[in-house]
Amino acid sequence: MRSIAAGDKVYNIAHLMYRAKGDGGDNKDNEFSRAALEEHRASGYEDALMPLMLV
């Protein structure tokens, strides 16, 4: 994460990159159930918090 000063304001910029989990294999079937989407969202949220915990 980087901080940029612009006048009296400070902006924090974070670059988030999606990397698919390795458990999908070559299977292209998509799961769009509510439970699967909530699990995917929760996983992404936890992944986005990880760099913030290191600061």
The answer to whether position 43 is within a domain reads yes
Residue 47 has a CB neighbour count (10 Å cut-off) of: 14
The answer to whether position 23 is within a domain reads no
Structurally, the chain folds into a number of domains equal to 1
Q: Which residue, chain included where needed, has tokens 């070559």?
A: 26
The answer to whether position 7 is within a domain reads no
Domain range for residue 41? 30-55
The answer to whether position 13 is within a domain reads no
Q: What angle do CA 34, 25, 50 make, to 5 degrees?
A: 65
What pLDDT does 42 receive?
92
Question: Could you list the pLDDT tens digit for every one of the 55 residues in the chain?
Answer: 565 666 788 877 877 777 777 665 566 677 889 998 999 899 889 888 887 787 6
